[in-house]
Structure 1
Amino acid sequence: MLDPMSLAAITAVLGAVGAGLANEAGKWAWESAGGLVRRIAGQEVAAPTGPAELSAVARLVHEGVRHDPALARAWAAFARTAPLRATADGVPALPPSVRFFTDRQGPMRLLEREASRKADGRPRLALVHGPEGIGTSALAVHWGCKEAARFPGGQLYADLRGASAGTAVDSTVVLRSLLVQLGMDQDDVPPGAADRQAAFRRCVADRRLLVVLDHAHSSAQVRPLLTAAPEVFTVVVARRPLPGLDAVPVPVGPLSDKDARRLLTDLAGGDTVAGARDVLPRVLERCGGSPYALRAAAPLLSEPEHAPLSGPGEPRHRTEEGPALPAADPVRAAAERTYRGLEPGAARVYRLMSLREWPALGPAVVADVAGLSEAEADRILGALADGQLLELTDSGRFRYRPAVRAHAEETAFRTDGIAACSAALTGTVRWYLRLAVRARLAALPQAWAIGRLYDELAASPGPYRDAGEALTVLRAELGNLVQAVLAAEEFGDPDSVHQLCQALWPLQLKAGHHDEILPALRAGARVVDAHHPGSRLAGRMHVLLALNLLELREDEEAESHLTAAVRAEEAAGHRRGQATAVESLGLLRLRQWRFQEAYACFDEASAVLDGAGTDGEGARDLPRARALLERHRGRALRGLGRFAEARERLETALGFFGTGADPYNTARTLTDLAETHLAEGNPEGALPLIDEAAVTLDKEKAAHHLAHLRALRERCLSALARD
C-alpha cells in the first residue's frame, strides 16, 4: 500500500484534485489544497499549471510534512477524503449498422489484419478513406458491429464532423464525448485538454476496445484522440488520406456493377429491379458504385415509367424555378434526381434550410422560416429523410450530409436568389435568438442582460415549467445556437451575436459545455470590439469569455479578457459591470492560490459597488452581489489562514443567503464555514454546518456537492476520533 506521505502519493493527490475542477466539489478541494499547501510551505505558493509545477509543489509538501507531525496529520486527513480521479466503467456500443451491406471483403480483411496484429508497442490504427457517399462510415460501423465480441470493453463512436475546418469538432469536445460514453459522469470530465487526454488514456489502458472516429478532417484533429494501449483498435474514417497519420490505409472504392445490382435488389426487391431492367444499366452508370446514390435511386425504380431515371445522358434539373444543375459526382447527382421529384413545398424547405450547417433541425424552426404549420414542417422533414436528402440524428431531428447540403445551397442561390436566401438565413438566426432569450430569462430570471430583446421579453419568458426545463432547451439547442452566433457575425448582425452569447450564460453557469460554447464567445468578443469598443457590451462579452476560459484552465487568456472588461466597463461608467469584472479577477486569483491578491480584488469590487446607484439596471441585484463578495472574501481569508476574519465574512454572507431566497448559495456558504472551522482545528463547529448544508441541498440534486459534504464529515469525525 502506498505511503500517503510519500512523494508519489502527494503528487497523485494534487493531480487528482487539479483534474477535478469541472465541478463545485472539485473547486472547493482545489482551494482547500491551496490553503493547506500555504500552511505547510509557510509562504504563498502559486497553483501548479503543468506537470513540472505540480512536481515542485508536491516536493514542497513532502518536505513540510516530514518535519511537522501536525501538518502531516492535516495533509493525511485532506488526502484521505480528497476527490479521487474520476472513473469510467460503462461498456459503450456503436450505432446500429445498415440492414443491407454488400461486398467490401478486401477492406474488411485489412481491418481484421490490423485488429488481430500482435501487440508490439505500436498503436493499432487504421484509416478508412474514400469519397463521400462511398460507404466508408458504414464499413467501419458494420465491421465493428460484426466483431463486437472481439471488444468486450466496448465500442466508442465519435462524429468529428470534418467536412471542413469550419465544421470540424475540436478534439477536446470529442474527448468529453468519449469519456462520457465510457461511463464518466459529465461533471467529472476534467476541464483542461491535457487532463482529458490523460483521463482518456488512463480509462482505456486495460480495455479491449474499438474506437471509431468518423468524418475526420485532419491528423491534428485525430492525434489527441489516439492511445498506445495494446488492446485498443482505433479506426479513423475520412474522405481522403490524412498526411502525418501513421495508420494502415484502408481505401474504399466504388461497388462493382454486380454488387451494386445486389444492393439495389436488397433495397427495392427482386421484382422491382427486374421490372426496371430497361433503365438499370443507366441507373448503375449514374450511381457510379456509390451506396448513397444507389439507396437514393432504389425508391425511384418503382415510380411510373422511371421518370427521374430515364432519358439520354445525365439528367439536368429543369423547372420553372431556375436553370439546370450541371452534372456532378454520384452523391450530388443523386440528390439532384431526388430533388427533381419533390413537391414544391418540400423543395423549398430543402433549399432554404441548407444555408448553414445546422447540427439538428426540428420542425418548429422550419415551420417559422418556411411559413408552414409545425405539423406540415414535420411531415416534410420526414419525407426529405425518406428520400436520403436529410439524415435523422440521435436527438430525433435532422441534418444534411455535407455534399447534399452543398447541392441544396447552390440550388437555393440559383433558384431563390440572394435576397430570399439572405432573408431565410436571417429568419433562422432570429428564430434561434428569440428561443434562446426566452429560455435564458426563464433559466436565470434574477441575472441581468443587455439587449433590446431581453427588455422586450422580460415580462413574458418562455413557456417553461421551471428553470430546469428552460436549461434543458438551451442544452438541446446548443449546437444550433453556436452556429447562429457565427452566422450572425458573418452577415453583420452584432445585436444578434451579443444577445445570443448572453443567452448561453446559464449553460456556462450550470451545465458546463464550456468547450462547445467557446467559439461563440470568441465571436462575441470580436464583434463587440469591432462595433462597441469601450462599452458595457464589450465589458460583458469579455467577462463571459474570461469566465469560460477560466473553467477551461486557460488562466493567462482569461486574465487578458478580464483586464479588457474592467477597462471597458470603467470607460462606459457602468459600475455594476466593472465590479463584476474585478470580482472575476479575484476568482481567478483564488484558483491560482494567490489569496492576498484575490482579497484585494474583492475589496476593490466592493468599493466600485459603493459608487453604483440604487436605481436603474442591476440595482435590484446589489444586495446579492455584496453578499457574494463577502463570501469570496471569506474564502480568500481562509486561504490566508485568517480564520476568525474568514468566519465573520462568511456569516455576514449567510445572513443574506439564509433568508431562503437562494438555497444553493446558502449551502455553498455553509460549506465554506464548515471548511473554515475544520481548517482552524474545530471539527465540532463544522459538523452542524455540514448537516445544515446537506438539508438545504436536498432538493437541488447537487450530487457532487453532497459528496463533498460527506467527505468533510468524514474528515471531522476522523479528527474527533484522534482527539
Structure 2
Amino acid sequence: MLDPISLSAVSAVTTVLGAVGSGMANEAGKWAWESTGGFVRRIAGREVPAPTTPGELDDVARLMVDQFRRDPRLAASWTAFAARMNGGMHGAGGGTAFGSCRPSLPVPTRFFTDRKEALKALDREASRRADGTPRLALVHGAEGMGTSELAVHWGTQQAGRFPDGQLHTDLGAASGPEGVREPGAVLRDLLRQLGVPAEEMPTSAARLSEYFRRCVADRKLLIILDHAHSAAQVRPLLTSAPAVFVIVVARNPFLGLDAVRVPVGPLADKDAVRLLAKLLDKPALAEARAALPSVLARCGGSPYALRAAAPRLTVPVSDSSAGGDPVRGAAEDTYRLLEPATAKLYRLMAVRAWPAIDAASAAHVTGTTPEEAAAHLEKLAEVLLLECGTTADGHARYHYRAAVRRHAEAAAVQEDGIAGCSAAMTRMLKRYVDLSTSAAHQALPESWRVPAPSAARRGRTYESRGQALDALIAESGNLVQAVHCAEESGDPASAVRICRSLWPLQLKAGHHEMLLPALRIGARLADAHWPGAADAGALHAQLAHTFTELYRWDEAESEALAAARAEEASGHRRGHASATEFLGLLRLRQWRWQEAHACFDEAGTVLDAMLPTDAGTADVPRAQALLERHRGRALRGLGRTEESRGRLETALRYFRDHGDTYNTARTLTDLAETYLDTSETRAARPLIEEAITMLDGQSAEYHVAYLRGMRERCAAEEQRDTD
C-alpha cells in the first residue's frame, strides 16, 4: 500500500499520472486517462484540470497526497486504482518492450575509398569510456562528398558492437527547408524500426522523446541521423544511454551540439584514381588516362561526381560552368547524354521537390504511359541522376539529390520555359487532388468531412478501405508538398481540397506532425478566400483534432472555436455541431467535465435545429447517439454515475440497433467502467464479455487487451470479496 506520509509519495503518484498520460495514443490509453481524471476528482472533491507539464503533474500529485494524509482510506483506494491502471495499460500494449525485429542499416556503398582518419574518429567516440554524456559524432561535408556513405560504411563494419540493432532515419534537410522533418515524426520512425507499434507511442513530441529514451536506455544501438538541419532538430533525438552511439550527418558543422566533429572533405587525387580503378576495368582506365586530369579537376574529389563520371571518362565534358560544384557539374555532363524523352522527365519532375516520385506520377506529368515512365526513371537511377528506394509494398520510389534537382530545375526553366514548368506543376497538382479525394472518400465513405470526387475524376478504385488508407499514407509526403505547391502557384481551391482529404490520415493513421504545416496553409487560404464558409470551418476542426492529439490544448481550443464560428456563419449546422463536439472532446481530455457536458448539450441543440434540406441531415441520428455517449463520459467524470449510465444505455441501444459494432463495443466499455467505479463487478463483467466477443477478429487488439485487463480486475475484486 502507498504510505501517505512517505517522502516518495508525490513521486510515486507523479509516476503513475505520467505513465497514464503518455499512453493516450490508442483508445485504451484515452479510457485510462479519463478514468484517472475522474478518480482524481473524487479524491480532491472538486474538478482538477488535467496536468500537461511536469510541474503540473507534481502539483496534482501533491494535492492528492495531502488528501491521503487526511484520510488513509483514500490512499488505499488510490493504490488499488493505480494497480488496475498499470495492469490495464500493460495489458493494452503499454510499456517499452521491443518487437521481434533487429533494425539494420541501408545497403552500404560497395567501393569505399580512403576516409581512414574519419573512420578512426568514429572508432574513438564509439569506444570511449562512458561518462554520462551522449556518445555523439557530427559527420559533416559538402554535398556529394560521401558523408552518409561514410556513416553507413562504418556502421556496417562495426555491426558487432551493436547487437540490438542499427537505426537509420532521414531528417530531410537534403531536399530543402520544406522537407525538414519535425522531431516527433523522426522519433516515430525510429520507434517503428525498433518494433514499437504506433498505438503504443505517445502523441506529443516531448513525451515521445522521453519514451524513446526509456526504450533505448539498456540497449546497444547505433543511430544514424542523416541530413540533419540544425542542433534544435537533433537534440530531442539524443540519449545519454551508455551503449547508444549517435552519428549525425549534416552539410555544415552547426553549433549548439556537443559532438565530436568529423569533417569529410574532397578525396585526394590518388584516392580518386583508386576509386575509379575499383569502378572500371584496367583497359577502360588505361584508355582514359589522358582525360584523367580534366576529369579529376571537374569532379573536385567528390565520390558522387567520380561515380557518375566513371562510365564516360572518354566523353568530352561540357564547357558550361557548374560554379565549382562537382555534383552539379556531374549532373550536367550526364544530362547531355540522355535520350530526349528521359531528359524531359528528368527536368519536369524537378520543378517541385517531390519527396517520392513513382511511375504513375511521372507519366501524368510527362504525358507518357506508366510503363514508359518507369523505364525512364530506371535509366535516371542507373546514371545516378535519381536515387531509388522501395516502399513497404515493394514499389519503386525515386528522389533527387538536392544539387541534382537544382540542376534539373534550372534546365527545365531554360528548355521548357516558365509556361512549361507551370503546366507540369498544374498536371501534378491535378493528379494529387484526384488521388487524395478518391482515396480519402474510399477510406471513409460515410464521413461528410471528406469531399467526394466528381464522377469524371473518380480515380483508382481500391479493393478495401485499408488499401485506400495505405495509398494516402504512401503519398502523404507528396500531398503535403502539393499543398505548398498549390499555395505558391495561386491555386487555393486545390490546396483546400487536398487538405480536407487528409482527414482519414489524421483520424486513422496519425501523422499529425507531418500534416500540420499543410493544414495550417489550408485553413489560412480558406479564411482568406472563403471566410466564414464550410471549408474554413472543416479545416479549423481538423487543426483542432491534430492539436488535441499533440497535447497542444490551447491551440486546439482556439481552432475548435474558430471552426464553430465559421460553420455557424456559413449556416452549416452539421459542421457547427461537430466543431462544438470537438471542443467537448478536448474538455474531456482536459478533465473539465462540466464544460465538456455543456459543449455536448450545445452540439445537441444545433443538431435538433437541423432542417431536412441541410447538408448532413442523414447523419444526425448517429451524431446524436455519439453525443449521448460523450455526455455519459462527462457525467462519469463528474461522479454522476446513475445519469452517466442512463446516457450510455441510450447510446448503446442505438448502436446495437444499427449494427455499429465499433461504437457498440466502445459504449459497452464506457458502461462497464462506470460499474467498476463503484466496484459493481458482477454488473460490469457481462458488458466486458459482450464487448470482447463483438471485437473478435475486428483488428482491435488494443481495445480487446484493455477489456481483458478490466475482466482481470473484476476477477481479482470478486476473489477479494470471497476471501
TM-score w.r.t. structure 1 length? 0.94
CA distance in 2, matches of 1:365, 1:192: 33
Q: Does residue 62 in structure 1 map to residue 65 in structure 2?
A: yes
CA 1:333/1:570 → structure 2, altered by over 3 Å: closer, same or farther?
Answer: same
Pick aligned residue for 1:665 from 663, 670, 673: 663
CA 1:205/1:240 → structure 2, altered by over 3 Å: closer, same or farther?
Answer: same
Mapping 1:177-576, distance limit 5 Å: 177-301=189-313, 306-307=314-315, 310=316, 315-316=318-319, 326-395=322-391, 396-449=396-449, 454=452, 456-457=454-455, 462-576=460-574
Say which SS state the counterpart of residue 547 (structure 1) adopts.
Answer: helix
Q: CA deviation at 1:79?
A: 2.7
**8 Å Cα contact 1:631/1:653 also seen in 2:** yes
Q: Who is 1:124 aligned against?
A: 135
Q: Who is 1:39 aligned against?
A: 42
CA distance in 1, matches of 2:457, 2:669: 35
CA distance in 1, matches of 2:688, 2:460: 37
CA distance in 2, matches of 1:61, 1:701: 38
Q: Which one-letter code corresponds to 2:384 in the other structure? A: Q
Q: Which one-letter code corresponds to 2:433 in the other structure? A: L
CA distance in 2, matches of 1:391, 1:327: 23
CA distance in 1, matches of 2:497, 2:3: 54
Deviates more, 1:155-164 or 1:575-584: 155-164
Deviates more, 1:643-652 or 1:120-129: 120-129
Say which SS state the counterpart of residue 279 (structure 1) adopts.
Answer: helix
Q: Who is 1:83 aligned against?
A: 89
Q: CA deviation at 1:447?
A: 0.6
CA distance in 1, matches of 2:348, 2:666: 48
Say which SS state the counterpart of residue 623 (structure 2) adopts.
Answer: helix
Residues 218-261 of structure 1 show CA distances to partners (whole Å, capped at 9, x for unaligned) of: 11111111122222221111111102222111111111122111
Q: CA deviation at 1:443?
A: 0.6
Deviates more, 1:374-383 or 1:389-398: 389-398
Q: CA deviation at 1:613?
A: 1.3
Mapping 1:571-720, distance limit 5 Å: 571-720=569-718
CA distance in 2, matches of 1:500, 1:702: 29
CA 1:444/1:3 → structure 2, altered by over 3 Å: closer, same or farther?
Answer: farther
CA 1:716/1:458 → structure 2, altered by over 3 Å: closer, same or farther?
Answer: farther
Q: CA deviation at 1:650?
A: 1.0
CA distance in 2, matches of 1:277, 1:137: 30
Q: Who is 1:28 aligned against?
A: 31
Residues 624-665 of structure 1 show CA distances to partners (whole Å, capped at 9, x for unaligned) of: 111111110011111111111111111111122113542111
Q: CA deviation at 1:671?
A: 0.9
Q: CA deviation at 1:88?
A: 3.8
CA 1:168/1:278 → structure 2, altered by over 3 Å: closer, same or farther?
Answer: same
Q: Does residue 145 in structure 1 map to residue 141 in structure 2?
A: no
**8 Å Cα contact 2:572/2:615 also seen in 1:** no
Say which SS state the counterpart of residue 297 (structure 1) adopts.
Answer: helix
Q: Who is 2:171 aligned against?
A: 160
CA distance in 2, matches of 1:491, 1:24: 40
Q: CA deviation at 1:87?
A: 0.9
Q: CA deviation at 1:13?
A: 1.5
Say which SS state the counterpart of residue 397 (structure 1) adopts.
Answer: strand
Q: CA deviation at 1:328?
A: 4.3
**8 Å Cα contact 2:573/2:614 also seen in 1:** no
Q: CA deviation at 1:280?
A: 2.2
CA 1:74/1:231 → structure 2, altered by over 3 Å: closer, same or farther?
Answer: closer
CA distance in 2, matches of 1:68, 1:531: 61
CA distance in 2, matches of 1:325, 1:620: 65
**8 Å Cα contact 2:655/2:661 also seen in 1:** yes
TM-score w.r.t. structure 2 length? 0.94
The alignment-based identity, stated in percent, is: 57
Q: CA deviation at 1:497?
A: 1.0
CA distance in 2, matches of 1:255, 1:489: 42
Q: Does residue 115 in structure 1 map to residue 126 in structure 2?
A: yes
CA RMSD of aligned residues (A): 1.9
Q: Which one-letter code corresponds to 2:379 in the other structure? A: A
CA distance in 2, matches of 1:72, 1:36: 13
CA distance in 2, matches of 1:427, 1:460: 16
**8 Å Cα contact 1:482/1:517 also seen in 2:** yes
Say which SS state the counterpart of residue 241 (structure 1) adopts.
Answer: coil
Deviates more, 1:85-94 or 1:525-534: 85-94
Say which SS state the counterpart of residue 352 (structure 2) adopts.
Answer: coil
Q: CA deviation at 1:65?
A: 4.5
**Residue segments in structure 1 that go unaligned for 5+ positions in a row:** 317-323
Say which SS state the counterpart of residue 658 (structure 1) adopts.
Answer: helix
CA distance in 2, matches of 1:678, 1:416: 70
**8 Å Cα contact 2:441/2:450 also seen in 1:** no
CA 1:349/1:156 → structure 2, altered by over 3 Å: closer, same or farther?
Answer: same
Residues 542-588 of structure 1 show CA distances to partners (whole Å, capped at 9, x for unaligned) of: 00011011001100001011111111111111111111111110000
Q: Which one-letter code corresponds to 1:234 in the other structure? A: V
Q: Which one-letter code corresponds to 1:69 in the other structure? A: R
**8 Å Cα contact 1:630/1:652 also seen in 2:** yes
CA distance in 1, matches of 2:424, 2:146: 32
Q: Which one-letter code corresponds to 1:46 in the other structure? A: P
CA 1:328/1:432 → structure 2, altered by over 3 Å: closer, same or farther?
Answer: farther
Say which SS state the counterpart of residue 440 (structure 2) adopts.
Answer: helix
Q: Does residue 8 in structure 1 map to residue 11 in structure 2?
A: yes
CA 1:10/1:215 → structure 2, altered by over 3 Å: closer, same or farther?
Answer: same
Say which SS state the counterpart of residue 545 (structure 2) adopts.
Answer: helix
**8 Å Cα contact 2:440/2:450 also seen in 1:** no
Q: CA deviation at 1:2?
A: 8.4
**8 Å Cα contact 2:272/2:296 also seen in 1:** yes
Deviates more, 1:94-103 or 1:228-237: 228-237
CA 1:3/1:428 → structure 2, altered by over 3 Å: closer, same or farther?
Answer: farther
CA 1:201/1:359 → structure 2, altered by over 3 Å: closer, same or farther?
Answer: same
**Residue segments in structure 2 that go unaligned for 5+ positions in a row:** none
Q: CA deviation at 1:721?
A: 1.5
The count of residues paired between Structure 1 and Structure 2 equals: 705
CA distance in 1, matches of 2:321, 2:625: 65
Q: CA deviation at 1:295?
A: 0.9
Residues 463-509 of structure 1 show CA distances to partners (whole Å, capped at 9, x for unaligned) of: 11111111111111111111111111111111111111111111111
Say which SS state the counterpart of residue 139 (structure 2) adopts.
Answer: strand
